[in-house]
Every structure is written in C-alpha cells, then in structure tokens.
Amino acid sequence: MNTSIMLHLLKMKKYERAKVVKKILDKYYPETPIPLDHKDIYTLLIAVLLSAQCTDERVNKITPKLFSLAPDPKSMSKLSTNKIYKIIKPCGLGPQKSRAIKKLSNIIINKFNGEVPRTFKELEKLPGVGHKTASVVMSQGFEIPAFAVDTHIHRLAQRWGLTNGKNVKQTEKDLKNIFAEDSWNKLHLQIIFWGREHCTARSCYGLECKICKKCYPKRTKPFVHKKP
C-alpha cells in the first residue's frame, strides 16, 4: 500500500471518529446555553475576559455586582481601575484584568461609538482579548462561525484523535477542517460541557467516557497528552 493511500485511510478514520463525537454530543446536548451570564455582547466580552484561568461558576458570582455598577462601556470607563479590581479579585489575575477592562471600555467608546467591534482583527487589538476570547464573542455574541479552542478542548481533541496535539492553534485548524462550519459554534459549547461532566482533566484519561471508548475501543493505557 503506497503512502498516499495510507494517509487517505488515516484521514478517513479521523473523520469517522468526528462523526462519532458529533452524534454523541448532539444526543447529550441538543441545547447549548452559554454558561457565562451576560445581558448583551459587551457584558459577554467582559465575562469571557474574566473567565481566563477562572471557572465560569466563579465569574457568574462576580459579574452581577460588576454589571450592576457598570453594565456598559461608558459606565465601566468611569469606574477606577482599583474599584474594578476589588470586585473581580476572586477571579484571579485581578491587576491585569482590571486594567484591561478599563482600557478596552475606553477604546470601545472612543473608537467604536460604544459598540463592541465585530471582527477578529479589531477584537484582538483590545487589551486583554486574545484569539480564544475573540472567538467566543464572535461565535456566541455575533453568531459568526468560529471555533474557540482552549486547553480543555485541546485536551479532548487529542484524546479523541481529532488533532495531532501540537498546540491550540493547530487544534483549532484541525477541528475546523473536520467539522462543518455551521456546527462550530454549537460544538465548542458541547465539547466544553462533555469535558466538564464526562471527560475531565483528572479522570477518564482517554479510557472511561463513552466518546473515548467509542473512538478507541482497544485503548488500554491512559492517554498521554501533548502540552498546548
């Protein structure tokens, strides 16, 4: 068997695993509510920024107080950085996040007439907004196809054989190539939900959950992840 045929077969196997993954996720999570509480795209942006290295649960406990004082860029820009920091401190990385929230709110007012920009290029220029945060805002806020990949999704994609595991950027590219564009926004949330409930970082290890067993029924040793 020549190399091109072997590569083709390997590719087909990956797509078959992708079908298994999507079928199970659609069954378990037909609805995908956004786990971060928000009222509009601006508050979604702030909530996603706060969620870096912090649980959604903790963010949802903190944002009601923050948004009661400042539900929009104009009111947020009037708060001192120290005031913002005191509220968001439990989220971790408080100094950096409070400065970013203050600065990006000013930029949104002065450069975008108070509206959150709706392109990756403009979003990723905002302080504290990386590609993953921009992807969540684009997909869940503006409903523009994007596949937000964090370390959790990167880990699961490795366990399920959907990526070579080199880095988060490569995983995003691999997932976009494997799944239809119109499924990206929902799949991002479905994979997050599955990882939290069935295939956590400190359990399963590619051996126990239904998806891992379906994708690799003969796997007997814990899967060794490649760091992002």
Catalytic site residues? 132, 150
Identify the CA nearest to 117 among candidates 137, 96, 98, 131: 137
**Cβ–Cβ under 8 Å, residues 75 and 46:** no
Helix (H) or strand (E) holding 66, with range, is: helix 56-69
Dihedral sign for Cα 114, 117, 122, 128, please.
positive
Give, for 159, the enclosing helix (H) or strand (E).
Answer: helix 151-159
Is the dihedral angle over the CA atoms 211, 160, 153, 39 positive or is it negative? negative
Q: Residues, the chain, total?
A: 228
